[in-house]
Structure 1
Amino acid sequence: MKSEGSLFRFTRMALAIALLSTVAACGKKPDAPVAPPPSEVAIITIAPELLSLSSELPGRLEATRIAEVRARAAGIVLKRNFVEGSDVKAGEVLFRIDPAQLQATFQSTQATLAKAEANLTQATLKAERYKPLVEANAVSKQDYDDAVALQKQGAADVAGAKASRQTASLNLGYATVSSPISGRIGRALVTEGALVGQGEATQLATVQQIDPIYVNLTQSSTDLLKLQQAMKSGQLQSVGKGQAKVTLVTEDGHTYPQSGKLLFSDLTVDPTTGSVSIRAEFPNPDHSLLPGMYVRARLEQAVNDKAITVPQQAVTRDMTGASVLIVDKDNKVVARPIKADNAQGDKWIVTEGLKTGDKVVVEGSQKIKPGAVVKAVAWNNPAAATSGATAPTSPTAPPVTAAAPASAASATSGAPADTTSKAK
């Protein structure tokens, strides 16, 4: 009985201790939850850049010189002396026309000249003999005057015969058809044995000089006026005379490796298209550019020395327009609407909404929303890290594919598509 009582008391004591522990645990306040650290985002700090503003314009290539090789003498084509599609030099013989008839005509004029010279010699001697005789009244004044007139007529006949011989010599030379310019010759339009030059100057071939080569461009007169107004207002600066560079993009999308230069801009507007004609010139040493090819040219037309750009991925667009996320001085995220209609490579040119010193979120925007506190770190541009390039700070920066800033012209085609519908 004694052991059973001891066991009972031990059990009651254990239950009491357990009950007290449970009550104490229920009365203890829970620990406060640990706040998560601020999300880390990559930012850029806005700073103005110096950018060249360009217009991307459609155009066609055209040879700088085009010579239609024509037969200037009538006859049968005896020989073609060139390879079709090859390069020829100025003065190089292209065709030979049968010179037999032309040679005979030339020899006839030589004979006529010799006869005229003989008659002139005879008339001159007669006039010289009559001169002292008329002074001595040995011959009449009329006979002397006739002798002098015959001398002058003989001199005129000689001059006419020389001119005829010169014409015949030229015609004989036309039997050898030479290239008037250096360039690339196309296919022959006649073959050996063809009769040419009968009543018309038959075209034999065409030679085109394609180094350098022209590109004829067209620009909307509206865009040109907006650009000029922006430069007059001081928003843009004009490119220095002779400094405007032109970059060519071929039909397959490749950029031509050599830069061109602007030659002129037309003074009149085409009433049917409302556009202005512009001509540029490009070196073409390997003849890879051919007349008639369709191209697009980026033409430097102005300079913006206070341009603001942001990476493409920093911009979101919705029905209300474009916007970016800004980190303010308290490290809080703020949504900022912007105006960015034109592009430079993988960047948007911002004309409204940002100022120098603003911190724009480039990476990490998917995990934050306006009002959130974040930890801002400098953005490491992967493209710059790969190529070692930096943001353009000089007029040699890549051209902007726009006719003018958004306040001066509308956006051009080919602008990069920016990020859409980022999480708020």
Structure 2
Amino acid sequence: MKWARGSKAGLGAMCLAAGLGAGLQGCSPAGSQTGPAAAPPPPEVGVVTVAPGRADLSVELPGRLEAYRVAQVRARAAGILHKRLFTEGSDVKAGQPLFDIDAAPYRATLASAQAQLARAEANLMQAQALADRYAPLARSQAVSQQEALNAQAAAKQAAADVQAGKAAVQTALINLGYATVTAPIAGRIGRALVTEGALVGQGEATPLAVVQQIDKLYVNFTQSAADVMRLRQALAAGRLQRAGGGEAAKVQVLLEDGSVFPQAGKLLFSDLSVDANTGQIALRAELPNPQGLLLPGLYVRVRLAQAEVADGVLLPQQAVARGSAGDSVLVVADDGAVTARPVKLGPAQGGRALVLDGLKAGEKVVVDGLQKVKAGGKARPVAVAAAGSAPVAAAPASAASR
């Protein structure tokens, strides 16, 4: 029995030693039992698929608004200003009375001219009657030929006096009309430059007010002569088509807050010469302003559509890498290989880069996660639809012409 108890104790010690050995073997480093670490998966990047389409080639230039017509209201009759007949800042019609000048001297001058005309007409009647009476008497030699000739000359002189009297009356009427100053054009009138009681028109035509027609406005702006020459060369070579199919180029005005004025204008002309000091060419456009919201003198940005690109591609600006060697984008192939593709850019369109050459339809361009990949590496492309990224193709005609 003693041996049996000792045998059981020895057997327990052997089992405990075996368990400790198994535990120590299980705590050994894992690396000693496995092979080399697996390569990390390729990074995920956002891409857009290239779909070329028509796009307007437009530029944004600084410009300034100018009234379509400007007329200075001046006093053409000398006298004391009696009354102002308009409200400052209101719209006036052509021919509407604006000021009254003391007309009493001009009415008196008119009455005197009319009296002189009446006297001349009476003298003409008398002289003509005498000439008519002497004509048959001269033929019968009852009076001398000289007397008949004198009578005819007196009649003609009296007729000339009548014409002079009529001209004097007409002049007096004109001067009397100048006593009421009217609006030369329809438009919006500014503040009065003189007040009642002022002596105006004394020696020169005194400025009284300014009327500006603003239902239409001119937009004056300039463009670099070098840009204009490059555009003309591209049009001549057939790489671009003229915007609007040969019609007047459309012009959009961008306000200070970045919004686009709802009325589109049209380009009227570009200057025939280049400013020697700035190297710029002056351009002018006509802009409808039916509500009178825009005012002359306002500085604006002008978006001018000059040409059309048949196969343009619009990309977010961050997708394009710019360097001394040129512009490029990252393209992901079907097998995930990333390559750098040189591209040719046109002017930015609505905050997006316009690619004129270098990309083909169906290619995937990296627009998100550019910091994760580089040319020669691998990537897993995922289509994105972020604002400014989804519409990769050039905007449709309705959007491009906005």
The TM-score bracket by the shorter chain reads: 0.7 to 0.9
Unpaired stretches in structure 2, ≥5 consecutive residues: none
Kindly indicate whether the alpha-carbon contact (under 8 Å) linking 1:52 and 1:397 is maintained by their aligned counterparts in 2.
Answer: no
Q: Do residues 289 (structure 1) and 294 (structure 2) align?
A: yes
2:118: which partner in 1? 114
Task: Provide the C-alpha distance between the structure 2 equivalents of 1:373 and 1:384, rounded to a whole number of angstroms.
Answer: 22
Task: Provide the C-alpha distance between the structure 1 equivalents of 2:246 and 2:26, rounded to a whole number of angstroms.
Answer: 90
Of the candidates 307, 310, 314, which is equivalent to residue 312 of structure 2?
Answer: 307
| Residue 315 of structure 1, CA deviation | 3.2
Of the candidates 96, 102, 105, which is equivalent to residue 101 of structure 1?
Answer: 105
Q: Do residues 199 (structure 1) and 203 (structure 2) align?
A: yes
| Residue 81 of structure 1, CA deviation | 0.8
* CA displacement 1:344-370 (0-9 Å, x = unmatched): 224212345433332112234444454
Q: TM-score, normalised by structure 1?
A: 0.83
Of the candidates 68, 76, 82, which is equivalent to residue 78 of structure 1?
Answer: 82
Task: Provide the C-alpha distance between the structure 2 equivalents of 1:198 and 1:123, rounded to a whole number of angstroms.
Answer: 42
Task: Provide the C-alpha distance between the structure 1 equivalents of 2:367 and 2:237, rounded to a whole number of angstroms.
Answer: 33
Of the candidates 143, 150, 153, which is equivalent to residue 157 of structure 2?
Answer: 153
Kindly indicate whether the alpha-carbon contact (under 8 Å) linking 1:242 and 1:262 is maintained by their aligned counterparts in 2.
Answer: no
Q: Do residues 180 (structure 1) and 179 (structure 2) align?
A: no
| Residue 390 of structure 1, CA deviation | 8.3
1:413: which partner in 2? none
Matching residue's letter, 1:108: S
Q: Cα gap change, 1:390/1:181 in structure 2, threshold over 3 Å: closer, same or farther?
A: farther
Once the two structures are superposed, the pairs formed by residues 226-241 of structure 1 within 5 Å of their partners are 226-239=230-243, 240-241=245-246
1:144: which partner in 2? 148
Q: Do residues 57 (structure 1) and 87 (structure 2) align?
A: no
Q: TM-score, normalised by structure 2?
A: 0.87
Task: Provide the C-alpha distance between the structure 1 equivalents of 2:388 and 2:111, rounded to a whole number of angstroms.
Answer: 79
2:149 is paired with a residue of what secondary structure? helix
Q: Do residues 348 (structure 1) and 323 (structure 2) align?
A: no
| Residue 252 of structure 1, CA deviation | 4.6
2:142 is paired with a residue of what secondary structure? coil
| Residue 150 of structure 1, CA deviation | 1.4
Deviates more, 1:115-124 or 1:371-380: 371-380
Of the candidates 240, 261, 269, which is equivalent to residue 274 of structure 2?
Answer: 269
| Residue 331 of structure 1, CA deviation | 2.2
Kindly indicate whether the alpha-carbon contact (under 8 Å) linking 2:312 and 2:394 is maintained by their aligned counterparts in 1.
Answer: no
Kindly indicate whether the alpha-carbon contact (under 8 Å) linking 2:51 and 2:392 is maintained by their aligned counterparts in 1.
Answer: no
1:381: which partner in 2? 386
Q: Cα gap change, 1:161/1:319 in structure 2, threshold over 3 Å: closer, same or farther?
A: closer
* CA displacement 1:302-335 (0-9 Å, x = unmatched): 1111212222333345676644322113222233
Q: Cα gap change, 1:147/1:372 in structure 2, threshold over 3 Å: closer, same or farther?
A: same
1:111 is paired with a residue of what secondary structure? helix
The count of corresponding residues between Structure 1 and Structure 2 is 396
Kindly indicate whether the alpha-carbon contact (under 8 Å) linking 1:52 and 1:303 is maintained by their aligned counterparts in 2.
Answer: yes
Kindly indicate whether the alpha-carbon contact (under 8 Å) linking 1:39 and 1:373 is maintained by their aligned counterparts in 2.
Answer: yes
Unpaired stretches in structure 1, ≥5 consecutive residues: 401-424
| Residue 93 of structure 1, CA deviation | 0.7
| Residue 165 of structure 1, CA deviation | 0.7
Task: Provide the C-alpha distance between the structure 2 equivalents of 1:25 and 1:117, rounded to a whole number of angstroms.
Answer: 141
Task: Provide the C-alpha distance between the structure 2 equivalents of 1:7 and 1:109, rounded to a whole number of angstroms.
Answer: 157
Q: Do residues 90 (structure 1) and 102 (structure 2) align?
A: no
Kindly indicate whether the alpha-carbon contact (under 8 Å) linking 2:68 and 2:218 is maintained by their aligned counterparts in 1.
Answer: yes
Task: Provide the C-alpha distance between the structure 2 equivalents of 1:271 and 1:219, rounded to a whole number of angstroms.
Answer: 13
Kindly indicate whether the alpha-carbon contact (under 8 Å) linking 1:344 and 1:399 is maintained by their aligned counterparts in 2.
Answer: no
Task: Provide the C-alpha distance between the structure 2 equivalents of 1:57 and 1:75, rounded to a whole number of angstroms.
Answer: 49
Q: Percent identity over the alignment?
A: 53
| Residue 25 of structure 1, CA deviation | 12
